[in-house]
Amino acid sequence: MLWLSGMSMLIAMQLRLFASTQWLYDETGSAVQLGILGAIQFLQMPVVVYGGLLADIINRKKLMVFTQSVSFISMALLTLASWNGILAPWMIFTVTGMTGIVNMLGNSARPAMLPRVIPRSHTTNAVTFQTASFQIGQIAAPLLFGLLFTQFGVTTTFLVGSVFAGVSMIAPAMINASGAPDPDTTAQSKVSALREGAKFVKRHPILPGLYLLDVGVTIVSFYRMLFPLFASGLYGMGAEGTALLGSANALGGVGGSMLVFFTEKIRHKGRIVLTATLAYAVGLIAFGLTPIFWIGLIIVAFLGATDSVGMTMRQAIVQLTTPDRLIGRASSAHSFAAMTANNVGQMEVAFVSAAIGAGATMVLGGFIGIAVVGIIWVAIPGIRRYEYVEISPNEVVDDKS
């Protein structure tokens, strides 16, 4: 049920974002409008940390039900607006901002529920399976978007997204495991609990570096929600190009997630993150320099693979190095870093692409990404030194951090 809720939420969100960005670009023809959409999503960031706190102090299942109900209602309203021919950019901006804020309040509840349904000994594989299946959803969603949008229009696309949002709203209530918070956390004041979470993350030898790595690279390279811009700017294509680029990226993500399964016995988990991020930065340069569409699809798949390896290992390290009572707050710090990077990155890439072109923007982002990896490697040695091997109950192994 936890998986079903996450998968349905992902497909609903992808359909909403792809339909919104494609409709907005078709209506306005402006890359700046896509950048404004990223700016609006950035408004959600102040609530991210509070969402992590909520995941630790109230019932995690109820929190997921509430936040997904807002997404369901918002999607239904967009469907009605489009059906009646009154859909306007301000509606897209409003729903994007509102659902983003509410989803931020519930995003930390899902990873915080994972230790309640999965034994610690299977944490990395559980995160990998979840990431891989979500990547499969990210393959299906762009293809579904391409079919629905080109054949039936934006109204049907929003309608189907509403159905998936409804499933994501219902599924958390059917989870058998307890979603109740730890009594020690509920006994604290909200301010004390926030301070405790901030202190834990700040003093952690690995997590701050992981978050900085994500921010430093993504902020100059975020491309996924700008596929309409790249499909048009690099290849002269419309919605079909957007759909194929999105699916290729997600297909590569599945391959990257599968690759993580084979890293189970590799001790140097931190070095895996750094190496994958470096490869991602090199891929950005290749993407920006490639004018041939089918080669671009291969490179986008490579970007999805390397990004997925880094993302999966970051999520696993958060789970493995954080006590259950603090997972919500640690996960919210991770979400804050990732979402900040994504939203600022969407604005930066859109605005810079409007100024110097899509290809040059990716090349620039790739070189900056390489520099960021080098700085993190040298300046924060805790990441490259982190070692962990998952073991069976009868094995013994050191866990070094």
pLDDT at 85: 86
Looking at residue 58, the DSSP 8-state letter turns out to be S
Q: What is the 3-class SS of 325-359, one letter each residue?
A: HHHHHHHHHHHHHHHHHHHHHHHHHHHHHHHHCHH
| DSSP-assigned letter for residue 398 | -
Give the pLDDT score at 225. Answer: 61
Q: Give the pLDDT score at 38.
A: 62
Give yes or no for a contact between 68 and 366, defined as CB atoms under 8 angstroms apart.
no
In this structure, what are the phi and psi dihedrals at residue 393, rounded to the nearest 5 degrees? -60, -20
- Exposure string for 27-65, b = 16+ CB within 10 A, e = fewer: eeeebebbbbbbbbbbebbebbbbbbbbbbbbbbbebbb
Contact 237, 228 (CB under 8 A): no
**How many C-beta neighbours within 10 Å does residue 230 have?**
25
* Whole-angstrom distance, CA of residue 247 vs CA of residue 141: 8
Please name which of 396, 373, 5, 326 lies closest in space to residue 218, comparing C-alpha atoms.
373
Q: Work out the number of other CB atoms within 10 angstroms of the CB of residue 76.
A: 17
pLDDT at 45: 60
The pTM assigned to this predicted structure is: 0.61
Residues 6 or more apart whose CB falls under 8 angstroms from that of 283 comprise: 299, 302, 303, 306, 366
Q: Is 212 left (phi over 0), alpha (psi -120 to 50) or beta?
A: alpha
φ, ψ dihedrals at 118, nearest 5° = -130, 130
CB 112 within 8 A of CB 335: no
For residues 148 and 150, give the distance between their C-alpha atoms in angstroms, rounded to a whole number: 6
**Beta carbons of 33 and 334 less than 8 angstroms apart:** no
pLDDT score at 185 = 58
Q: What is the DSSP letter of 60?
A: H
pLDDT tens-digit readout, 3-23: 888 889 889 988 888 888 888
Furthest-apart CA atoms within the chain: distance in Å: 64
Give the residues of the chain that fall short of pLDDT 70. 31-32, 34-35, 37-53, 55, 182-191, 224-226, 264-265, 335, 388-401
CATH number for the domain running over 2-171+184-385 = 1.20.1250.20
Alpha-carbon span 138 to 1, nearest angstrom? 19
Query: At residue 130, what is the residue type?
Result: Q
Dihedral pair phi/psi, residue 386, rounded to 5° = -65, 130
SS3 268: coil
pLDDT at site 399: 47
Which tokens in the block code for residue 305? 């693979």
Q: Where are the domains of the chain?
A: 2-171+184-385
Q: Any alpha helices (H) in 204-292, and if so which ranges?
A: 207-218, 227-235, 239-261, 269-288
